[in-house]
Each structure stands twice: as structure tokens, then as C-alpha cells.
């Protein structure tokens, strides 16, 4: 994207949020009969504007803020005789509190409207239906007997009525809050309803702000790709990670088609068409007399997709994995004695890999190799902290050149009513506000590094990246920044809205006006704090750019 596009995205985001903020002050001031002299988006010299009634509306040169100028808000200036009674500082404390609170309140409410708009825009889209495509080996779903192709009709949480599933996202919503709790599933298989009890595993779902766990059962709504491998020790023209495109002339699009075609072969050797290798240029091969069953029974063709088996798709030259003798097609079965059945297990065992510390990898052919990870310096994008991470040199997934689109078992049209969308938007807004408040609190306690505080460069980067990702991402980031702007303005710092709110509240409680000297001193302190924060944030931005 061009620089002009990115600048426009940033100006629109900041200008929009500033307008919303100042509009709150403006509307409440007008409603309480306080005279508004000027409504400005931006600071500094006026670029253009107009006057309507008693108020001047203008756009100013510097877009990093805005203001609503009201009569009588400067205690050192007298109010004109014709404006007596309409000055800001002349108003009762509750009125000044309401005017000051209105700006941050608008920034906190505006994201709710954005979330509603995003929800309405999603209506009519095709989404995954509540049909199982992949079941991870060893997962709670597999242990309970859930199978690919099962349609999940409902899920019951203990003590609550059954929830009917309309689309796959409903499953995530009901399972995630209940790790290690027995849930009753009703699934449809072959026209028959089956009750299953599944206990979701607890999976780490921590973020920068809080540590928590979520429930997972190990299923996806998409079929695995038709990557296959021969059974260990079997003489076969098939090789690990061959992409099967047909079996005995029968088209194969995914692992479900492959299983059906192998079952139809009735243990007879078959011809297969496969694409072999990695990347986009996988050559097509015709394999003959591929066994489908082992001599003593059991499947001769095994899944090799990393979602259902931990096969290595790529090994980097000169890496620790290459030095350990690992090659494409090796299947991991354990790390330091911990069983590995799919890529989920490898991710969960990430703590077993430490720079310079040997790890024992067990492979499907019976080998046990020692891999010593190297260390790589990095800077965390969120925390901006520097650290060292282990480099292994092997990769489980290589989706380049695979036709993965259209692998959803079922697609249904998303449709939510306005009431449901509003409810979801309220929940989403509350979660964003909650996490932001927690984050601000941990900044002040030192639990989160002050290096995470960013300034205009970070905002530019976030807005530009979001705009390039699409309108939905852009509006979502606008909502997040709006919440941050609203809460930051509520901090009890003089010159910010929070400082005005505290002043009005104190005067309402004590029934005494603060002296002019006290107000001036508070404003100087507030300005000093604000400038210090701005310089600090800008310094963090420069360090981030250098890193």
C-alpha cells in the first residue's frame, strides 16, 4: 500500500475518534446551556472552518487531538456580561462533571456501535457449520468417541439447558469457558442421535494482561488435507507426505475422500495419483499396486497431515534439526518422553525446547535422536522486550501448493438478529474495557513493562497495518484505540478530563470552589505529567523503530 493510503488511514482513525470524543463534550455542554465558542479537530493553526450560530467549527493543522472551547473555562478571564450564567466554571459541579465525562463516555460507547456494525455486516456470510472435520489424536474428542463427519446438535453445560449449535463458532463459545468440566454432547451420525460426554482439556490462553485457561476438545470444522504415508516398515510406492489426488480413478479432495476410497478398495492394492515434494511445484506421479491393508489387518495408508500426525514437512539446511539427522517425512512420536500425536502436542511441549539444552526426540521408525536448539535473539512485538528463543529448524506444516480452500465439511449462512448482535457487541465491549483497565493497572504496578507504551509512531503502524488487512480489521482496531483513549482521559490528571471530573466531584462534596492558585498549580503539574508521558512514549517508538 502507498504511503498516502497509510497516512489517510491514520488521519481518518485519529480524526474520527477525536471527533467522537469532542462531540460528547459539545452535545452535553449545549444541552446544559453552556456557551461553546469553538469546536476544533486538531490543534495549532486553523486550516479551514466555518461559524454557525455562536460556535466556530474548524479543522486545525496538528491532528493529534482536538478541543471544545467553552466560555468561562479559563479562570483568569472574565465572562462577558451577555454570557453570564453560561460559563463553564459558573456551572454547578454536577454539570461540569457531566460535560467532562461525556467525552470519554463517547469513546467507550462508540466501539459498541462499531461492534454492532461489524456484526450486521457479517450476516449473509458463509461460515463453518457444526460438523466435525478433523479430530486430533489423543484429544478429549477422540477419547469420547467423536468422529469426523459427526454433526453436533447440542451441548449441555452442567446446571444449564442444552444449547443448540447453529455454526461451528457456537461450539468454541460454549466449550472455551469450561475447561475440565464434563459436557454432554448430542451428535448425529448416520441418521442416529448419540449422547457423548466430553471433558475439555485445559489449554493456556494467556495474554499480555492476564493468565487464564480455556477449554478445548481437539476438533476442527475442516477435513484434513489428503496427505498420506505408508505404514511403518511396509514396502509401498507411497512416501510420507504424498498428496493423494485419486484412488482407483476416484477423485480425492481431502482426508475424508481418501478414507472412503480406501474403504471401497476392500483391502485390494490400488492405483493412486499423488503429488510429491514440497512447495507449489509438486510433481504429479502415478503409483501402481499401492497396498491398502496390512497383511495381518489394519490400514496400510496412514494420515500424514500435521493436524492428525506429527510429520516433519520441512527441515532447514544447517539447522539443529538437520544436524540431528532429521529429514522431511520423519514422524515425531515423543519429546523427552512426552507423547506426540499431532502438531498440537508439539506446540504444548514448547517448554521442552531451550537454547543449548539437548532434547530427545523419538521417531516413528524407532530412532531416538538428540536435538540441541540454538538461541536466537528477538524483540517481542507486544511487550517490546528483548529475549532469546530456541531455534529447532524443523517445521510440521508446509501448505504451499496445497488446495486447502473448500475443505470445510459444511458451510452455512450466518444470520443473527439485531438483539443477539447487540448482546454480543456489549459482551465484546465489556471484555475490551476489562482487559484495558487491567493492563493500565499492571502498567502502574510494574507487572507490565513501560516499554509497551507507544506513541504516534505505534498508532500509525497499527492503523496502517489494520487498513491493509481490510475494513473489518481497521474498524476493530479503531474500537480498541477508542477504548484506550476514553480510559486514558479518565485518569485523574489535571488538564485531562479525569482531572476535571475529580475537581468537580471535590467541589460538589466540599461545597467550596478551588482557589485560582490551586487550579493553576494543578494545571502545571498535569501538563508536566502529560508531556513526560508523551516524550516517554515517543522515545519507546524510536527504540522500537531502531530494533
Q: Hey, what's the cell of 157? A: 453445560
Beta-carbon contacts of residue 76 (< 8 Å; ≥ 6 apart): 516, 520
Q: Which of 22, 56, 180, 420 is catalytic?
A: 22
Contact 296, 233 (CB under 8 A): no
Residue whose entry in the numeric block shows the C-alpha cell 476416484: 250
Number of Cβ within a 10 Å radius of residue 511:
7
Q: Give the strand pairing for 126-128 and 359-363.
A: unpaired
Q: Which helix (H) or strand (E) holds 523?
A: helix 516-546
- Clarify whether 22 is annotated catalytic: yes
| Residue from 444, 501, 450, 456 nearest 481 by CA | 456
Alpha-carbon gap, residue 130 to 150, rounded angstroms: 9
What's the burial of 313, exposed, middle or buried (CB within 10 Å: 0-12/13-18/19+)?
buried
Which residues lie across from 250 on neighbouring strands?
A: 247
Q: Hey, what's the cell of 367? A: 530412532
Which residues lie across from 188 on neighbouring strands?
A: 151, 193
DSSP string, 94-138: HHHHHHHHHHHHHHHHHHHHHHHHHHHHHTT-EEE-SB--EE-TT
Q: Show the beta-strand stretches assigned E in 340-459.
A: 359-363, 368-371, 374-379, 386-391, 394-395, 411-413
Angle between helices 3-31 and 471-489 (to 10 degrees): 50
Q: Which helix (H) or strand (E) holds 219?
A: strand 219-220
Positions marked active-site: 22
Amino acid at each position: 500500500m502507498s504511503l498516502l493510503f497509510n497516512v489517510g488511514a491514520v488521519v481518518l482513525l485519529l480524526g474520527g475518534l477525536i471527533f467522537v470524543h469532542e462531540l460528547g463534550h459539545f452535545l452535553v455542554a449545549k444541552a446544559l446551556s453552556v456557551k461553546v465558542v469553538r469546536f476544533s479537530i486538531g490543534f495549532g493553526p486553523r486550516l479551514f472552518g466555518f461559524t454557525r450560530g455562536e460556535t466556530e467549527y474548524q479543522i486545525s493543522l496538528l491532528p493529534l487531538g482536538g478541543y471544545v472551547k467553552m466560555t468561562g473555562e479559563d479562570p483568569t478571564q472574565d465572562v462577558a456580561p451577555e454570557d453570564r450564567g453560561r460559563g463553564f466554571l459558573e456551572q454547578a459541579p454536577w454539570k461540569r462533571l457531566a460535560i467532562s465525562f461525556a467525552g470519554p463516555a463517547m469513546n467507550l460507547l462508540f466501539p459498541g456501535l462499531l461492534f454492532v456494525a461489524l456484526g450486521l455486516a457479517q450476516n449473509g456470510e458463509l461460515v463453518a457449520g457444526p460438523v466435525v472435520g478433523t479430530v486430533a489424536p489423543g484429544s478429549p474428542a477422540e477419547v469420547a468417541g467423536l468422529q469426523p463427519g459427526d454433526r453436533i446438535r447440542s451441548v449441555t453445560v452442567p446446571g444449564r439447558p442444552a444449547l443448540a449449535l447453529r455454526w461451528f463458532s457456537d461450539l468454541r463459545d460454549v466449550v472455551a469457558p469450561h475447561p475440565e468440566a464434563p459436557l454432554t454432547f448430542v451428535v448425529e451420525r448416520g441418521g442416529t442421535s448419540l449422547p457423548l460426554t466430553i471433558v475439555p482439556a485445559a489449554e493456556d490462553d494467556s495474554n499480555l494482561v492476564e493468565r487464564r485457561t480455556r477449554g478445548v476438545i481437539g476438533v476442527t470444522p475442516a477435513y484434513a488435507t489428503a496427505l498420506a504415508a505408508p505404514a511403518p516398515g511396509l514396502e509401498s510406492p507411497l512416501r510420507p507426505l504424498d498428496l493423494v489426488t485419486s484412488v482407483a480413478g476416484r477423485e480425492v479432495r481431502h482426508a475424508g475422500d481418501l478414507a472412503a476410497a480406501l474403504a471401497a478398495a476392500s483391502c485390494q492394492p490400488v492405483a493412486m495419483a499423488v503429488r510429491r515434494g514440497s512447495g507449489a511445484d509438486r510433481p504429479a506421479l502415478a503409483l501402481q499396486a499401492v497396498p491398502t491393508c496390512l497383511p495381518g489387518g489394519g490400514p496400510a495408508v496412514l494420515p500424514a497431515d500435521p493436524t492428525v500426525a506429527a510429520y516433519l514437512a520441512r527441515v532447514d539446511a544447517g539447522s539443529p534439526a538437520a544436524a540431528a539427522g532429521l529429514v522431511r517425512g520423519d514422524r515425531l512420536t515423543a519429546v523427552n518422553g512426552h507423547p506426540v500425536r499431532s502438531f498440537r502436542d508439539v506446540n504444548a511441549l514448547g517448554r521442552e525446547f531451550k537454547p543449548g539444552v539437548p532434547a530427545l526426540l523419538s521417531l516413528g521408525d524407532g530412532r531416538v535422536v538428540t536435538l540441541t536448539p540454538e538461541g536466537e535473539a528477538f524483540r517481542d512485538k507486544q511487550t517490546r522486550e528483548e529475549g532469546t528463543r530456541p531455534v529447532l529448524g524443523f517445521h510440521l506444516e508446509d501448505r504451499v501448493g496445497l488446495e486447502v480452500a473448500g475443505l470445510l465439511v459444511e458451510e452455512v449462512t450466518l444470520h443473527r438478529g439485531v438483539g443477539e448482535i447487540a448482546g454480543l457487541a456489549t459482551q465484546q465491549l465489556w471484555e475490551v474495557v476489562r482487559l484495558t483497565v487491567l493492563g493500565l493497572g499492571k502498567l502502574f504496578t510494574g507487572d507490565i513493562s513501560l516499554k509497551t507504551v507507544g506513541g504516534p509512531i505505534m498508532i500509525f503502524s497499527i492503523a496502517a497495518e489494520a487498513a491493509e488487512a481490510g475494513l473489518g480489521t481497521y474498524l476493530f482496531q479503531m474500537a480498541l484505540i477508542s477504548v484506550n483513549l476514553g480510559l486514558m482521559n479518565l485518569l485523574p490528571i489535571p488538564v485531562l478530563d479525569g482531572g476535571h471530573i475529580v475537581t468537580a466531584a471535590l467541589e460538589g462534596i466540599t461545597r467550596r470552589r478551588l482557589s485560582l492558585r490551586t487550579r493553576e498549580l494543578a494545571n502545571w503539574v498535569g501538563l508536566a505529567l502529560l508531556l513526560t508521558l508523551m516524550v516517554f512514549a515517543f522515545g519507546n517508538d524510536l527504540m522500537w523503530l531502531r530494533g
